[in-house]
């Protein structure tokens, strides 16, 4: 029964020429109907190729689809549902598909045998990259990408079901029906745009009516079941752990249609039934790649489903199933008949037989038997086993995952009746009632394997990659006898069809050459995806600006209104500096922010620092474990700086922790480590000390926090802090903290902390008041010329103070290296303490943090420079360390740097070289204390 609607013509363009097909056509069927013979060129020899199959196994007819200047290469013509306006082009040729200049390779083929490129192109040495390789690269490849951003959208979805049925042929349809009727949640996925599988391609009868009707009726009933989801045009491409299946649904190939082009589904199924059918395989004989040589099953599909009767056909078969094909000539290998050559470069003309006879024919239908589509049974590294009677690989029922069943042709039950029996059996196993068995054909396949006609000429095994039987034999001759070696040496099965038609034939040719059986020869492993999946579909919507989420600080809106330039800090966007009119570059802004903060007052949003609430009777004891210094002795109302190590003794993170009550601490982390530190604390709490009474919660997003720094910081804060709170130096000294209210009763926390080295506070309010607070602070600060400062000025001031930050806490530095060795409490254990005492971490010649300044005050320093002692050659053995942070200090009117230098502490005063080759900046620098500004810390205590 023909499934194209001849009343609905569709116009399409192929290689610039306008053609007409019909609703229900694929591009391949429409081209065949239009009489187009050559649709592509092969990979290596650029041989003219026609259409070989009728579904996803197609290896020859690859085309580019063009849409609005965007090109999609390597599409199988056999799986493109025809639509109005489709524009397709043939690919992989220089010139036109009919006159491809690279077809010269076909004439040169004796020089281009398997693996030829491994044996030459080595002399002269430079010629490989300059001459040979560029030529090879230009000739290789298949279709083209257009170098333009893919304009299509892709979506992702998650589906859950009791049973995923893969394949909508007779086995899959009946299984879905049985399970659906039993109320199971069923998903039935099929690659084709019409469900029915081979039932659509043959002239079978089921219950005395056309099998097409049975398929349609079954689909119709399935559609009425609310617990069944039918998913046509959906390829289940991979099997993953614990019942996770990957599926790709194609919604449309038309760019103009709204919505996503494809949806990537992750299907969670309690059980899956693989009913993926089987794929017919060719037979290797001389010039079997001519346009017009097709799979017998494909010829029947085009006739029965699409109504295209390919006349003048010779059938070559080794089994009874092939005999169903309409053909003028039947060549049955079981009667010792076979084909020894084919003429007709751009379309079959004559067929030469082994008995010397020459037939005239335009098409050759080939049936070399059927390969069950066992691919998905191998994705978890199961191996199929060889079935001698059916001459095919079958799923190994012993190694199949428990939650996967295989039925129908995929399990070697090639007849319709056989498929129904297996469908009923699996339905019962899965708790459903078996349907009354439909009456259907039950013809045996009766195959006698016949793989390859030996001869002098080339007989193709992998058509797309131009791997011939001779190549496989040559590979064996050269010692590549393992099937994996043959595959890699010849490229057998590595074309876009993943060897669907070539793997088993290749294996058989290899088995003949090695005089082994096929099971002895082995099989290569099938890996995902079953059919190729676009990268765009795997990416879904997480591209461009949506690649990662964006986190905005509470002052983001205010900052954008006031000239802020933002910088990516992880997923946060932080104000980097605030540009003002008249400032010529970022340095102007940053210098102003630093000088204004140091001379009056500046405000910086520090909300991004991680905040962790630590509560419980053992909170202090807990913090003693995670920090090198002691927290249990910290008084309520006080803060303390803390350094945290990994268990391997390397510094992990630092921050300040405030004690708000006996049982309540607030701990801060660096911006980058907020997540990892929280995870680490939970690990210590749950995995090491579950008996401690302590609980943790991240409050990073709950509190907006601002640093208010500079000599006028207190004066400014006094204007917003509610009057009952005394924040004078006496009442609220350096490192004090308290809960309080601001702006007439808004809950707040105040910490007297300083990263800048100035008199400074950090004030936090519930995040929703952050915007209001920063506006209030700036309004009240007008009299002091208060300014906002960004991460650059923050960085400059911390380098001036010699505080280590992310550049120094880089995962390789110890407390001692950071100059914080004195913080490590000798009285108690902490995470990392034992391993921090290893010899190479404590020895004299280890790296220590130092400050550096240029000897010539005008010289600029560059970050990432390496240190070399004066007089030493600039080579790796003389490497003394590296620069980790650099800033222009507007306070000192000089560049300053922090870095790590071997035995650095002892080298203060020494002049060394800072060499930066990649930025061509070698500077003599003097080693100094890392504390450039106010080393005694007097300013922050006023």
Partner 1 sequence: MIINHPTLGPRDSAEFTYLGDAALLRRPNPKSETALDDFYSYQYLRDNPAGEHRELWYHEQGDRSWLVVTRNTVTHDITKVEFARDVKQAMIEKAIIKRAKS
Partner 2 sequence: MSYSAFRIFKEAITGHKGWKPVWRKPEPQLNYDIIIVGGGGHGLATAHYLASKFDKKRIAVLEKGWIGGGNVGRNTTIIRSNYLLNDNEGFYEFSLKLWEGLEQDVNYNAMVSQRGVLNLYHSDPQRDAYVRRGNAMILNGADAKLLKADAVRSLYPFLNFDDARFPIMGGLLQPRGGTVRHDAVAWGYAHAADKRGVDIIENCEVTGFDIQNGCCVGVETSRGYIGASKIGVAVAGNSSRVMAMAGIRLPIESHVLQAFVSEGLKPLLDGVITYGAGHFYVSQSDKGGLVFGGDIDGYNTYAQRGNLPVVEDVCEGGMSLMPMIGKARILRMWGGNVDMSMDGSPIIDKTDIKGLYFNGGWCYGGFKATPASGYSFAHLLATDTPHDTAKAYRMDRFTRGLMIDEKGMGAQPNLH
| Binding positions for partner 2, 464-493, rule CB under 8 A | 470, 474, 477-480, 482, 484-485, 488-489, 491
User: The tokens of 292 are what?
Assistant: 């017009």
Question: Considering only residues 505-524, where is the footprint of partner 2 by CB under 8 A?
Answer: none
Residues 137-166: b if buried by 16+ CB within 10 A, e if exposed: eeeeebbeeeeeebebebbbeebebbbbbb
Rounded Cα gap, residues 186 and 133, in angstroms: 52
Verify binding: residue 23, partner 1, rule CB under 8 A.
no
Rounded Cα gap, residues 81 and 72, in angstroms: 15
* Interhelix angle 586-599/791-801, nearest 10 degrees: 60
Residue 449 three-state SS? coil
Residue 874 three-state SS? coil
Verify binding: residue 648, partner 1, rule CB under 8 A.
yes
Q: Examine residue 774 and say whether the peptide bond preceding it is cis (omega within 30 degrees of 0).
A: no
Verify binding: residue 682, partner 1, rule CB under 8 A.
yes
Which of the stretches 23-31, 443-451, 609-617, 835-843 binds partner 2 when contact is defined by CB under 8 A?
835-843
Find the length of the chain: 942
Closer by beta carbon to partner 2, 477 or else 661: 477
Binding test (CB under 8 A) with partner 1, winner from 833, 848, 866, 939: 833
State the number of binding residues for partner 2 (CB under 8 A). 118
Residue 582 three-state SS? coil
Residue 189 three-state SS? strand
**Contact partner at residue 542 from partner 1, partner 2, none, CB < 5 to 8 Å by partner kind:** partner 2
Residue with tokens 């254990």: 829
Binding test (CB under 8 A) with partner 1, winner from 104, 209, 244, 437: 244
Residue 321 three-state SS? helix
Q: Are strands 370-372 and 363-367 parallel, antiparallel or unpaired?
A: unpaired
Question: Considering only residues 599-638, where is the footprint of partner 2 by CB under 8 A?
Answer: none
Verify binding: residue 701, partner 1, rule CB under 8 A.
no
Q: By rule CB under 8 A, what string of x and - marks binding of each residue 498-537 to partner 1?
A: ----------------------------------------
CB-CB neighbours of 728 under 10 Å = 9
Closer by beta carbon to partner 2, 193 or else 547: 547
Q: Are strands 551-552 and 572-578 parallel, antiparallel or unpaired?
A: parallel
Q: How many CA atoms lie within 13 A of 63 on its CB side?
A: 27
DSSP assignments along 345-386, one per residue:
TTS--EEEETTS-EEE-SEEEEE--EEE--GGGGTTS---EE
Verify binding: residue 143, partner 2, rule CB under 8 A.
yes
In 3D space, the residue among 180, 189, 264, 194 whose CA is nearest the CA of residue 223 turns out to be 180
Verify binding: residue 73, partner 2, rule CB under 8 A.
yes
Question: Considering only residues 377-436, where is the footprint of partner 2 by CB under 8 A?
Answer: 379-381
Verify binding: residue 542, partner 2, rule CB under 8 A.
yes
Cα–Cα distances (Å) from 165 to 190, 240, 263, 280, 433, in that order, read: 9, 16, 18, 22, 16
Question: Considering only residues 232-291, where is the footprint of partner 2 by CB under 8 A?
Answer: 238, 240-241, 244, 246, 264, 266
CB of 632 to partner 1, least distance (A): 17
Q: Examine residue 529 and say whether the peptide bond preceding it is cis (omega within 30 degrees of 0).
A: yes
Verify binding: residue 641, partner 2, rule CB under 8 A.
no
Residues 6+ apart with CB under 8 A from 488: 480
State the number of binding residues for partner 1 (CB under 8 A). 24
Which of the stretches 1-9, 234-242, 387-395, 805-813 binds partner 1 when contact is defined by CB under 8 A?
234-242
Verify binding: residue 99, partner 2, rule CB under 8 A.
no
Verify binding: residue 768, partner 1, rule CB under 8 A.
no
Rounded Cα gap, residues 575 and 567, in angstroms: 6
**Contact partner at residue 675 from partner 2, partner 1, none, CB < 5 to 8 Å by partner kind:** partner 1
Closer by beta carbon to partner 2, 149 or else 220: 149
Closer by beta carbon to partner 2, 661 or else 686: 686
Residues 793-805: b if buried by 16+ CB within 10 A, e if exposed: bbbbbbbbbbbbb
Closer by beta carbon to partner 2, 416 or else 523: 523
Which of the stretches 94-102, 248-256, 834-842, 934-942 binds partner 1 when contact is defined by CB under 8 A?
834-842
Closer by beta carbon to partner 2, 65 or else 426: 65
Verify binding: residue 15, partner 2, rule CB under 8 A.
no
Which of the stretches 287-295, 387-395, 545-553, 590-598 binds partner 2 when contact is defined by CB under 8 A?
545-553
Closer by beta carbon to partner 1, 242 or else 258: 242
Question: Considering only residues 903-942, where is the footprint of partner 2 by CB under 8 A?
Answer: 915-919
CB of 611 to partner 2, least distance (A): 23
Question: Considering only residues 837-856, where is the footprint of partner 1 by CB under 8 A?
Answer: 837-838
CB of 676 to partner 1, least distance (A): 9
Verify binding: residue 111, partner 2, rule CB under 8 A.
yes
Verify binding: residue 834, partner 1, rule CB under 8 A.
yes
Which of the stretches 315-323, 736-744, 761-769, 831-839 binds partner 2 when contact is defined by CB under 8 A?
831-839
Question: Considering only residues 838-867, where is the footprint of partner 2 by CB under 8 A?
Answer: 838-842, 862-866
DSSP assignments along 573-634, one per residue:
EEEEEE--TT--SHHHHHHHHHHHHHHS-EEEE-TTSEEEEEESTTHHHHHHHHBSS--TTP
User: The tokens of 131 are what?
Assistant: 């001459």
Closer by beta carbon to partner 2, 536 or else 637: 536
CB of 545 to partner 2, least distance (A): 5
CB of 241 to partner 1, least distance (A): 4
Element (DSSP H or E) covering residue 301: helix 296-304
CB of 645 to partner 1, least distance (A): 12
Binding test (CB under 8 A) with partner 2, winner from 72, 280, 466, 591: 72
Verify binding: residue 268, partner 1, rule CB under 8 A.
yes
Closer by beta carbon to partner 1, 266 or else 775: 266
Rounded Cα gap, residues 567 and 584, in angstroms: 19
Binding test (CB under 8 A) with partner 1, winner from 168, 243, 408, 620: 243
Verify binding: residue 428, partner 1, rule CB under 8 A.
no
Torsion of CA 876, 880, 886, 888, to 10 degrees: -110
Which of the stretches 122-130, 207-215, 560-568, 681-689 binds partner 1 when contact is defined by CB under 8 A?
681-689
CB of 829 to partner 1, least distance (A): 4
In 3D space, the residue among 373, 318, 317, 316 whose CA is nearest the CA of residue 500 turns out to be 373
Binding test (CB under 8 A) with partner 1, winner from 679, 747, 919, 941: 679
Whether the Cβ atoms of residue 562 and residue 768 lie closer than 8 Å to each other:
no
Whether the Cβ atoms of residue 244 and residue 267 lie closer than 8 Å to each other:
yes
Whether the Cβ atoms of residue 706 and residue 594 lie closer than 8 Å to each other:
no
Verify binding: residue 246, partner 1, rule CB under 8 A.
no
Angle in degrees, CA 227, 230, 233, rounded to 5 = 160
Q: Are strands 923-928 and 911-915 parallel, antiparallel or unpaired?
A: antiparallel
Verify binding: residue 398, partner 1, rule CB under 8 A.
no
Verify binding: residue 104, partner 1, rule CB under 8 A.
no
Whether the Cβ atoms of residue 618 and residue 662 lie closer than 8 Å to each other:
no
Question: Over the Cα atoms of the chain, what is R_g?
Answer: 37
Verify binding: residue 835, partner 1, rule CB under 8 A.
yes
Angle in degrees, CA 365, 367, 373, rounded to 5 = 125
**Contact partner at residue 829 from partner 1, partner 2, none, CB < 5 to 8 Å by partner kind:** partner 1
Binding region for partner 1 (CB under 8 A): 240-244, 268, 380, 647-648, 675, 679, 682-683, 686-688, 690-691, 829, 833-835, 837-838
């Amino acid at each position: 029964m023909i499934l194209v609607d001849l009343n609905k013509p569709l116009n399409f363009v192929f290689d610039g020429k306008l053609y007409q097909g019909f609703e229900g056509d694929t591009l391949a069927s429409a081209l065949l109907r239009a009489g187009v013979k050559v649709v592509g060129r092969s990979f290596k020899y650029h041989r003219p190729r026609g259409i070989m199959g009728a579904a996803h196994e197609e290896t020859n007819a690859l085309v580019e689809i063009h849409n609005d200047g965007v090109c999609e290469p390597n599409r199988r013509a056999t799986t493109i549902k025809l639509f109005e306006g489709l524009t397709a082009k043939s690919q992989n040729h220089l010139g036109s598909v009919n006159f491809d200049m690279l077809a010269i390779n076909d004439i040169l083929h004796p020089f281009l045998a398997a693996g030829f490129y491994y044996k030459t192109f080595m002399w002269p040495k430079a010629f490989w990259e300059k001459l040979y390789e560029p030529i090879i690269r230009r000739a290789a490849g298949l279709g083209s990408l257009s170098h333009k951003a893919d304009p299509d959208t892709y979506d992702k979805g998650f589906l859950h079901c009791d049973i995923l049925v893969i394949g909508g042929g007779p086995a899959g349809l009946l299984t879905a029906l049985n399970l659906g009727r039993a109320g199971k949640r069923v998903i039935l996925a099929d690659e084709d745009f019409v469900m029915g599988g081979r039932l659509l391609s043959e002239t079978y009868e089921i219950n005395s009516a056309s099998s097409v009707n049975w398929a349609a009726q079954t689909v119709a009933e399935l559609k009425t079941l609310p617990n069944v989801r039918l998913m046509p045009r959906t390829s289940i491409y991979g099997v993953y752990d614990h019942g996770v299946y990957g599926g790709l649904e194609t919604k449309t190939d038309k760019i103009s249609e709204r919505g996503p082009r494809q949806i990537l589904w992750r299907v969670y199924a309690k059980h899956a039934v693989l009913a993926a059918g089987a794929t017919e395989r060719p037979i290797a004989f001389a010039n079997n790649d001519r346009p017009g040589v097709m799979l017998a099953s494909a010829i029947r599909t085009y006739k029965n489903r699409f109504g295209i009767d390919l006349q003048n056909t010779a059938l070559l078969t080794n089994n009874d199933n092939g005999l169903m094909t309409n053909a003028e000539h039947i060549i049955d290998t079981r009667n010792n008949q076979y084909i020894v050559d084919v003429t007709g470069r751009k379309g079959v003309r004559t067929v030469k037989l082994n008995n010397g006879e020459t037939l005239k024919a335009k098409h050759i239908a080939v049936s070399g038997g059927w390969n069950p589509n066992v691919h998905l049974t191998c994705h978890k590294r199961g191996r199929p086993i060889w079935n001698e009677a059916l001459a095919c690989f079958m799923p190994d029922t012993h190694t199949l995952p428990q939650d996967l069943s295989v039925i129908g042709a995929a399990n070697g039950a090639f007849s319709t009746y056989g498929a129904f029996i297996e469908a009923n059996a699996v339905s019962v196993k899965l708790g459903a009632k078996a349907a009354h068995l439909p009456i259907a054909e039950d013809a045996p396949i009766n195959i006698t394997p016949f793989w390859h006609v030996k001869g002098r000429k080339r007989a193709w095994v992998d058509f797309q990659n131009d791997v011939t039987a001779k190549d496989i034999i040559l590979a064996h001759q050269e010692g590549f006898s393992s099937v994996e070696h043959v595959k890699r040496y010849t490229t057998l099965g590595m074309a876009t069809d993943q060897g669907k038609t070539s793997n088993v034939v290749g294996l058989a040719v290899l088995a003949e050459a090695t005089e082994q059986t096929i099971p002895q020869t082995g099989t290569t492993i099938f890996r995902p995806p079953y059919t190729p999946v676009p990268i765009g579909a795997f990416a879904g919507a997480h591209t461009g600006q949506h690649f990662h989420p964006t986190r905005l600080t509470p002052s983001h809106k205010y900052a954008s209104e006031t000239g802020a330039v933002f910088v990516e800090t992880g997923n946060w966007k932080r104000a980097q500096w605030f540009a003002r009119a008249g400032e010529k570059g970022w340095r102007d802004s940053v210098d102003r922010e630093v000088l204004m903060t140091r001379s009056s007052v500046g405000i910086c949003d520090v909300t991004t620092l991680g905040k962790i609430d630590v509560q419980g009777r053992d909170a202090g004891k807990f913090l003693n474990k995670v920090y090198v210094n002691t927290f249990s002795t910290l008084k309520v109302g006080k803060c303390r700086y803390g350094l945290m190590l990994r268990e391997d003794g390397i510094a992990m993170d630092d921050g300040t922790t405030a004690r708000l009550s006996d049982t309540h601490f607030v701990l801060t982390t660096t911006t980058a480590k907020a997540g990892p530190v929280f995870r680490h604390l939970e690990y210590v709490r749950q995995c090491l000390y579950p008996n401690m009474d302590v609980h943790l919660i991240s409050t990073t997003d709950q509190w907006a926090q601002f640093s208010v720094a500079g000599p006028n910081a207190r004066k400014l804060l006094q204007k917003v802090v509610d009057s009952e709170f005394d924040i004078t130096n006496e009442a609220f000294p350096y490192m004090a903290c308290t809960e309080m209210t601001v702006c007439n009763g808004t809950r707040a926390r105040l910490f007297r902390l300083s990263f800048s080295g100035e008199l400074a506070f950090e004030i936090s309010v519930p995040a929703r008041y952050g915007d209001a607070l920063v506006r209030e602070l700036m309004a009240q600060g007008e009299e002091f010329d208060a300014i906002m400062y960004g991460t650059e000025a923050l960085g400059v001031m911390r380098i001036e103070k010699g505080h280590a930050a992310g550049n120094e806490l880089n995962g390789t530095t110890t407390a001692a290296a950071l100059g914080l060795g004195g913080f490590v409490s000798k009285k108690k254990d902490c995470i990392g303490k034992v391993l921090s005492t290893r010899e190479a971490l404590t020895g004299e010649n280890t790296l220590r943090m130092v400050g550096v300044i240029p000897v010539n005050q005008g010289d600029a320093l560059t970050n990432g420079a390496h240190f070399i002692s004066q007089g030493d050659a600039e080579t790796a053995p003389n490497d003394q360390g590296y620069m980790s942070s650099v800033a222009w200090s507007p306070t000192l009117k000089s560049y300053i740097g922090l870095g790590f230098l071997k035995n650095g502490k002892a080298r203060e005063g020494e002049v060394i070289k800072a060499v930066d080759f990649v930025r061509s900046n070698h500077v003599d620098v003097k080693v100094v204390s890392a504390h450039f500004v106010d080393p005694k810390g007097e300013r922050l205590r006023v």
